Amino acid sequence: MSAPLTITQDVIQAYADGRLDDTSRAAVEAHLDSNPDAAADMAVWLRQREAIKTLYDPVAGEPVPTRLDPHRLAARSGRKPGWPRYAAAAVVLVGLGLGAGWFARDLLQPEETPSQLLIASALNAHALYVKESRHAVEVAANDGQHLTTWLSNRLDHQLDPPDLSSQGFALVGGRLLPPDVYRNTGPAAQLMYENATKDRLTVYVTAALPGGEKAYQFETTNGLDAFYWANDAITCTVVGDLPQPQMNTVAKLVYQQLTWSPDPVRTW
């Protein structure tokens, strides 16, 4: 019988990189299930890895233009003594061109507003985690006091999960998400809810944006509805793919309970 796997930093990193066999992965998952802090760190690493992949995979996958292919250059030069130098220079030029194109995109594209960035983050997090079964949340609803205290402390704002039972939804639990790399809103909290037919919706909350202006916005992306609002205390995005009248009702319930207000200033 083999000895139990020792969970070291290297093993944790190998798990995050997807380099472990099934037995080792199961051992690490058991460790994460019993160590909320380690699970929170793992969630951050996985989120960062996905962000890096999203940012750079499109560029890394672009083919080198035929005219700059080192082998083609070598063939055209008759493999004279200096050909490696020119080929290397071509590779550098390709890299510079790709880099310039990447950074120039910000000059050519209109700058997204903070609300658009927050909505995009909420949609991405929803799409990623609602598909999970075992790891849909970091802290389950049956540990509600710990969930509320933990997320409230990290957001520096009291966050009591809204009660959506009138719409047939029960709290599954929640997780902490890292700050978006493009702005300083601090970490985000994601609360997940599920009904009897396994439909899920999420509530994505951050600290208020600088200035704390009120805002209300609605977007539909890839079949997902996002109801966003912000005030001087928090920002909140409710995401789901329910029939729109029910999504509207759920969003208002969340608004009422997180702001202690009877109704939004405007209707989505």
At 110-130, the pLDDT tens digits run 567 888 889 999 999 999 999
Tell me the pLDDT band of 102, cut-offs 50, 70 and 90. Answer: very low
Q: In this structure, which CATH number among 1.10.357.10, 3.90.870.10, 3.30.200.100, 3.40.50.970 belongs to the domain 114-259?
A: 3.30.200.100
Strand partners, 201: 193
Q: Which is higher by pLDDT, 15 or 4?
A: 15
Sheet holding 188-194, edge to edge: 139-140, 170-177, 188-194, 200-207, 234-240, 224-230, 215-221
Q: How many Cβ atoms are within 10 Å of 133's Cβ, its own excluded?
A: 5
Tell me the DSSP string of 103-165: HHHHHHSPPPPHHHHHHHHHHHHHHHHTT-STTS-SEEGGGHHHHHHHHHHHHTS--PPP--G
pLDDT tens sequence across 193-249: 999 999 999 999 999 988 888 889 999 998 999 999 999 999 999 999 999 899 999
Q: How many CB atoms lie within 10 A of CB 174?
A: 27
Nearest to 151, CA basis, from 142, 161, 136: 161
Confidence of residue 8 (pLDDT cuts 50, 70, 90): confident
pLDDT band, residue 5 (cuts 50/70/90): confident
Angle at 227 between CA 223 and CA 228, to 5 degrees: 130
Reported as a pLDDT band with limits 50, 70 and 90, residue 45 is: low
